[in-house]
Structures are given as C-alpha cells and as structure tokens.
Structure 1
Amino acid sequence: MHRQVIEHGGIPVGIAVPSNGRLRFIAVKFHVIDLDNRHFASVGELKAAIHDHLNPLAALAA
C-alpha cells in the first residue's frame, strides 16, 4: 500500500496512508473533516464513506 490522494468530484479532499494493514484517511478539506483519522479496509470503502457523508439522503435511499 502507498499513500494515495483521494478525490471527490474531481477535487482532492484528503490522502489515504497505510496504517496497520488498513488505510487511514487524512482530510485536507473542511467538508470531510468528520472522516479525518478514520480507518478503512480499502480505497473503495473510503470513497463510499465520503460519498455517504456528503450525500446523506442518498445513503438513506439505498
């Protein structure tokens, strides 16, 4: 695993860094700060969490 820039809607919102076999999210934009320092199993899981965080009504419809 390597550090990776995480984008949402084409805008960088943070980076994912390896941490004990998982990925730790470091937020660089205020609108995703609630996810800062959370750990995820994959980049896909992290991106889904960002999407759900920024679009709470979409998560309820699923």
Structure 2
Amino acid sequence: MQKQVIEFGGEPVGIVIPDQDRLKFIAVKFHVIDLDEQRFDTPDDVRSAIRDLVRARNAAPSAHV
C-alpha cells in the first residue's frame, strides 16, 4: 500500500502511510493534529478516531477570554 489521503467532511485532513505493519497517520490540518503520527489498523479506524476527536471538541465547553 502506498500513502492514502484521509478526508473528513469532504476535506483532506491527512494521509496514512505504511509503518511497522500498521498505518501511520500524518495530519495536515490543525484540528486533527492530536492524531498526528498515531498508528491505526485501517483507514476506517483513522476516520473513526477523527470523528471521535471532532465530536469531543465540539461537546467541550469553550473557554471565554
């Protein structure tokens, strides 16, 4: 497998590359940077992690300055 683009909401947010018998996620958008360089079994696992991350951020109360 070569690199594969990962999209979320119709927007490319990173790529996965083969690494240590798994797929390493390389983030290219700031809102998914927390997942950068994490390893996953499948591209669908990456998308699920992104979805969970975005949901958690949207559910968290924002700090007011």
Q: Which residue of 1 aligns with 2:53?
A: 53
Whether 1:17 and 2:17 are equivalent positions in the alignment is: yes
User: Which amino acid counterpart does residue 32 of structure 1 have in structure 2?
Assistant: V
Q: What's the CA shift string for 1:6-55, capped at 9, x where partnerless?
A: 00000000000000110000000000000000000000111000000001
Structure 1 vs Structure 2 CA RMSD = 0.8
State which structure, 1 or 2, has the greater radius of gyration over its C-alpha atoms.
2
User: Which amino acid counterpart does residue 2 of structure 1 have in structure 2?
Assistant: Q
TM-score norm. by structure 2 comes to: 0.83
Which stretches of structure 1, 4 residues or more, deviate above 3 A after TM superposition?
Answer: none
- SS in structure 2 of the partner of residue 55 of structure 1: helix
Q: How many residues align?
A: 57
Q: Which residue of 2 aligns with 1:6?
A: 6
Q: Which runs of 5+ in 2 are unaligned?
A: 60-65
TM-score norm. by structure 1 comes to: 0.87
